[in-house]
Structure 1
Amino acid sequence: MIKAVRALDLPFGDGVTLPLYLLYQTASQETEMIFNGENGDQLFAGWTNKPIIAANIYQFQHPEYQKDFTEQYLQTFHHLYGYEKRIFTSEIYNQLLLNEPREAIQSSLDKEFSTDLLDRLRRATLMLKGAQNIQPRATYLSNENGLWVRSPFCDIDLTQWTFQTSENLFLQQSCEKYILKKSVESWLPSEIVWRKKRGMGVPLTSWCLNSLWLTLGSWLNPTVLKAEGRFLDHLPSQLILGQISGHLRGRRIGEILWLLLIWEVWRVKVLGEDKAKVSLLNPFYIPRPVWQKYANIRANYF
C-alpha cells in the first residue's frame, strides 16, 4: 500500500489502485509496454452515465423531486459530499465554504458546449474522472513499475469525432458503448463483446473491518486525527457504527475508510508531515466485534 501511494502525485482513494499496482508489477516481469482501455467509458458513454440519466427521467416525470443538475452530478461520486460539517474540523469547514466544489465542475457541465444530456455527461466524466483520476493513476502506477503505457482512446481526433456522433450510437436501451462494441464484433468472441459491464470491485469493507483493522488503528485513530486537525477525531468510529448517515453503509463504509487511510499514508509518506504517536486508548486496538458491541450498548443505553 505504501509503495502504491508513493507512486502517485495525488492521494487517489480508489480501492482498485492497489490491485492495479500489483498487476503492473507482474506485467513488468514480461514486457516493457502495455496498452489499456482508459477513456473508453468516458468517450463512448459507459455505465457511469446510467444512474444520472435515470434520475433525470424520473425527475422530469416528478417535478417535485427535481434537483439542480450540478448537485445530481456531485452525488454520483458517492463519498462524503454533503456531510462536510460532520466530518471536518471547524477550521477546515470554514475554508470549504469559501471554495464551493460546484464551481469547479460547472465548466465541464456547461450548456454552452452542448444542450444534449449525454454530451454534457461524457464531457464532464472525461474532464473530471478520466483526465484527473483514471488516466493519471494508470500512468503513474505503470511508470513506477518501469512500464511504458499507451492509451489508444486518449486521442484528440477520436475524442472530437465522438462529440459529433449521434447519442443513439452510444446507448441503445440498456446497452452502453454500442458503436465501440460493434466496431470490434468481428475481432472478438461475442461473449466478450456483449457481456454485461462489471466494475473492478475491491472488498474494501471486508479488508478494513478485518485484516486491516490494526492498520486503521495506526493511521486513523482519534489521537492521530486530532493532532492533524483536518478531520473530526471520531469520524472513523462513527462511520463504522452508522452514526454519520444511514446512507453510508455496506461497501460505502469501506470506500470511505480506505479514502481516509490513503490520505493519511500520503500526507506522511509523500508530503512528509508528522504523524502523532498512537494512543493506547485506541478503539481500533480492541477486536472489532468486542468494540462494536460495547459502542452500540453505550449509544443505546447511555
Structure 2
Amino acid sequence: GQYLRSYHRFYGLEEQLYTPDFRQTVAGQVRRRSLLQPLLGEGEASTYLNRIRLADVSIKGSYNILPRMERMAGAWGLDARAPLFDRALAEESFRLPPGLKLHGACEKYILKLLLQNWLPEEIVWRRKYGMSVPITDWALGGLAPLLGELLGPTSLARRGWFRPEYVGRLLRGENEPFEARRRRIGERLWTLAVLEGWLRHNLDPRRTP
C-alpha cells in the first residue's frame, strides 16, 4: 500500500473520491496490486530492494519519466539521453550488494562514491531536493478560477464520477489528516483538472460557438 501511495495520487481515497455509481461501474476492472505482483514477486529479483527497483524502472521510469522527458525535449528539437537506463548497466546494477545502492537513507550510494572523484563533497552529499513545482500554490492561487470551473459542482454532476464534497475540500485547500505534504492537494487537483479537460476536448460533443 505504501508503495502504491508513493505515486498513486488517490490511493486509499477511492470511497471519498468516487461516487457510488462510478465505483460500482469500475469495480473489479482495475486491480492495482495484480499489476504490481509480477514485478514484486520473489522470482523476479533477488532482494526486496531489487524488486522495488524493478517496479520503479518498469513503471515510473519506462511509462512515466522517460516518455515525458523525450516528448518535452523533442518539442524543442533536443535529443535527450538517459545513460542510467542503458540495459547492460541497469542489469549489472541489480547484481550489486544492496548496501551500495541504499546506504541508510542515502540513495544512489555507489554513484555518489564515484562522483567524489570529480565533484566537491558539498555537492555530492548534499540533501536531496525534489524537482516539484509549487503546484498547490498555483492551484489555490492564479489557477483557482479555472479549476473551479473544471471541477465545480455543475461539471462534476454532469460527469457523475467524483464526489463534489471531496473535490470541494481540495479546492478549499483542505488536506487529508494523514497527509503531511501540502503539495498533494495541488497534485490531486491538477490530475482531476487534466482529466476533465481531456474528456471535454476528446469525448464530449463539440460546443457550437
State the SS of the aligned residue for 2:7. coil
1:177 is aligned, of 108, 111, 121, to 108
**Cα displacement (A) at 1:243:** 7.4
Question: What are structure 2's unaligned runs of at least 5 residues?
Answer: none
**Cα displacement (A) at 1:173:** 2.4
Matched-pair identity in %: 37
1:84 matched residue in structure 2: 14
**Cα displacement (A) at 1:77:** 2.5
Distance 2:179 2:204 in 1: 30
Distance 2:21 2:76 in 1: 39
Letter of the aligned partner of 1:157 in structure 2? Answer: A
Q: Which runs of 4+ in 1 moved over 3 A?
A: 240-245
Map 1:1-302 onto structure 2 (within 5 A): 71-77=1-7, 79-98=9-28, 99-241=30-172, 245-248=176-179, 250-269=182-201, 272-274=202-204
Distance 2:200 2:120 in 1: 47
Q: How many residues align?
A: 205
Distance 1:227 1:275 in 2: 13
TM-score for the superposition, normalised by structure 2: 0.86
State the SS of the aligned residue for 1:150. coil
Q: Which has the higher contact order (CA 8 A, sep 6+)?
A: 1
**Cα displacement (A) at 1:248:** 4.8
Distance 1:119 1:172 in 2: 14
**Cα displacement (A) at 1:217:** 2.1
CA RMSD of aligned residues (A): 2.4
Distance 2:35 2:162 in 1: 22
Question: What are structure 1's unaligned runs of at least 5 residues?
Answer: 1-70, 278-302
Letter of the aligned partner of 1:97 in structure 2? Answer: A
**Cα displacement (A) at 1:205:** 1.7
Distance 1:244 1:178 in 2: 34
- Say if 1:173 and 1:124 are closer, same or farther in 2 by CA, change over 3 A: same
- Say if 1:239 and 1:77 are closer, same or farther in 2 by CA, change over 3 A: same
Distance 1:259 1:91 in 2: 21
Aligned partners of 1:242 and 1:248 also within 8 Å:
no
- Say if 1:84 and 1:174 are closer, same or farther in 2 by CA, change over 3 A: closer
